[in-house]
Amino acid sequence: MSGLLRGSVAVVAAAESALGQVAAGTTPVDLMAQATRRALDECGLKLSDIDGVFTNCAQLRMPTLSLCEYLGLQPRYQDGTGIGGSSFMTHVQHAMLAIEHGLCEVALIAYGSTQRSVSRAAASPREFNPYETPYKPFMPASAYALAASRHMHEFGTTRENLAEVAVAARRWALLNPVAWEKEPLSIEQVLGARMVSYPLTVRDCCLVTDGGGAIILTSAARARGLRQAPAFVLGVGECVSHASISNMADLTVTGARRSGEIAYAMAGVAAREVKTAQVYDAFSINTILFLEDLGFCPKGEGGRFVSGGAIAPGGMLPVNTSGGGLSYCHPGMYGLLVLIEAVRQVRGDAGARQVAGCDVALAHGNGGVLSSQVTVILGGASTV
């Protein structure tokens, strides 16, 4: 069980940097700084108010040092924990801990990547693994394809079910003015797209874009005096289960089951009370696995659960309302953008894609090859 206090801190600002394709010469820290400025403007805090800095970035060897230098900050507390795309959900947990214990008062969590501009291979080179590399898996896609193969074998999930996830993400993206993808997408187009690692086509795989973001957290008391409606951190849970896909015990059950249990228990919230789920969709199979493991449907039913537009606009559960990593943006470690969309939904300023009465939103991060799972549950003023 968590020793953290439900609702003790809140996200008071959440902003994207430029997304998609950035100008030549732009650095990951330029994007972090741009998003930080936007976040400060949103909440009314000053740069000098930030006394806790959290970031991780595959392009930077010591990311908190680079960001603090750039911003001219010598924070009381810093944390560069790196567990892939879920790093930023873990940063929320660590920021909460630091704020509760007086190690800092105003925590900045920032991210930036120029992986589209500099190439994915340059932005996040893969480690040599003598037990995997000789077989030439296309990582990370092949790891998720292996998981999909197992889900299809055990539960009868189909490629059409996977395609439904991509189509739903696209329909949400068409409601998001800053989404990368601008054209409608059909199930047939997903199935007929270039195969990457069977059963995943390029449309089952996340985008490769530049981009970044920043969120600012502070104590609940201080949050109430700022410009934005606070998104209170009701619960957070984490599970790390493996590093390489060969060492994942059961490819159909992720650590999201454990991270979700911890987060729900801390929040005192059940899955049925979550108004929107933002789950890290690096690949279409992710959404199915996480909706199961986070309790939105029984294990094995995810493929059928997402069918018929059930997670698309107008469906029974709004999932990945930004358009997700599949259609909105995916700058390498996308988890911070997942959090930003959840914050906006709780604040009620998600524009055309706003979920009505969204008092509770779940943001779930995934890192590595289904390796690290971190769940954050956010709530509006009525929940604390």
Partner 1 sequence: MSDLRTESPNGTYVAHCAKGELAYQVDGETGAAVFFPRVIGPGTGAALAWRVSKGLGTVYATTVVHTKGEAPHNVALIDVDEGFRMMSRVEGIDPMAVKIGMRVRVRMHPGEPPYPVFDVEAGA
- Under the binding rule (CB under 8 A), the answer on residue 354 touching partner 1 is no
DSSP 355: P
Q: DSSP letters along 284-317, please?
A: HHHHHHHHHHTTSS-TT-HHHHTGGGTTSTTSSS
Q: Which is nearer to partner 1, 124 or 149 (CB)?
A: 149
- Under the binding rule (CB under 8 A), the answer on residue 3 touching partner 1 is no
- Under the binding rule (CB under 8 A), the answer on residue 128 touching partner 1 is no
- Under the binding rule (CB under 8 A), the answer on residue 37 touching partner 1 is no
State CA 358 to chain mean position distance. Answer: 18
Tokens, residue 168: 């739903």
Q: Which is nearer to partner 1, 42 or 132 (CB)?
A: 132
**Exactly one of 251, 256, 282, 285 binds partner 1 (CB under 8 A); which one?**
251
- Under the binding rule (CB under 8 A), the answer on residue 119 touching partner 1 is no
Q: Which is nearer to partner 1, 74 or 133 (CB)?
A: 133
**Exactly one of 1, 131, 177, 314 binds partner 1 (CB under 8 A); which one?**
131
User: CB under 8 A: which stretch of 105-113, 143-151, 214-222, 254-262 binds partner 1?
Assistant: 143-151
Distances (CA, A) of 302 to 201, 252, 296, 298, 314: 19, 11, 9, 7, 18
**Exactly one of 145, 169, 215, 363 binds partner 1 (CB under 8 A); which one?**
145
Closest approach of partner 1 to the CB of residue 159, in Å: 13
Q: Which is nearer to partner 1, 217 or 251 (CB)?
A: 251
- Under the binding rule (CB under 8 A), the answer on residue 272 touching partner 1 is no
User: CB under 8 A: which stretch of 21-29, 93-101, 148-156, 330-338 binds partner 1?
Assistant: 148-156
**Exactly one of 3, 25, 72, 130 binds partner 1 (CB under 8 A); which one?**
130
Distances (CA, A) of 220 to 11, 83, 105, 325: 9, 27, 11, 30
- Under the binding rule (CB under 8 A), the answer on residue 59 touching partner 1 is no
**Exactly one of 30, 132, 210, 293 binds partner 1 (CB under 8 A); which one?**
132
Question: With b meaning 16 or more CB within 10 Å and e meaning fewer, what string describes 327-348?
Answer: bbbbbbbbbbbbbbbbbbbbbe
The interface with partner 1 within residues 218-247 (CB under 8 A) comprises 244-247
**Exactly one of 62, 69, 153, 270 binds partner 1 (CB under 8 A); which one?**
153
User: Residue 320 — φ and ψ, nearest 5°?
Assistant: 50, 60
Distance, in Å, from the CA atom of 251 to the CA atom of 146, rounded to the nearest integer, reads: 8
- Cβ(366)–Cβ(85) under 8 Å? yes
Distance, in Å, from the CA atom of 154 to the CA atom of 157, rounded to the nearest integer, reads: 8
String of contacts with partner 1 for each residue 184-213, x by CB under 8 A:
----------xxxxxx--------------
**Exactly one of 47, 48, 102, 138 binds partner 1 (CB under 8 A); which one?**
138
- Under the binding rule (CB under 8 A), the answer on residue 123 touching partner 1 is no
User: CB under 8 A: which stretch of 108-116, 124-132, 160-168, 204-212 binds partner 1?
Assistant: 124-132
Q: Which is nearer to partner 1, 55 or 371 (CB)?
A: 371
**Exactly one of 146, 168, 206, 297 binds partner 1 (CB under 8 A); which one?**
146
Q: Which is nearer to partner 1, 74 or 247 (CB)?
A: 247
Distance, in Å, from the CA atom of 167 to the CA atom of 184, rounded to the nearest integer, reads: 8
- Under the binding rule (CB under 8 A), the answer on residue 134 touching partner 1 is yes
Tokens 């909460």 locate to: 96
Distance, in Å, from the CA atom of 195 to the CA atom of 202, rounded to the nearest integer, reads: 6
Q: DSSP letters along 222-285, please?
A: HHTTSSSPPEEEEEEEEEE--SSGGG-S-TT--THHHHHHHHHHHHT--GGG-SEEEE--SBHH
Distance, in Å, from the CA atom of 66 to the CA atom of 212, rounded to the nearest integer, reads: 15
Distances (CA, A) of 252 to 97, 148, 180, 286: 32, 8, 30, 10
Peptide bond into 130 cis (omega under 30): no
Q: Which is nearer to partner 1, 140 or 332 (CB)?
A: 140
Closest approach of partner 1 to the CB of residue 192, in Å: 14
Binding region for partner 1 (CB under 8 A): 130-132, 134-138, 142, 145-147, 149-150, 153, 194-199, 244-247, 251
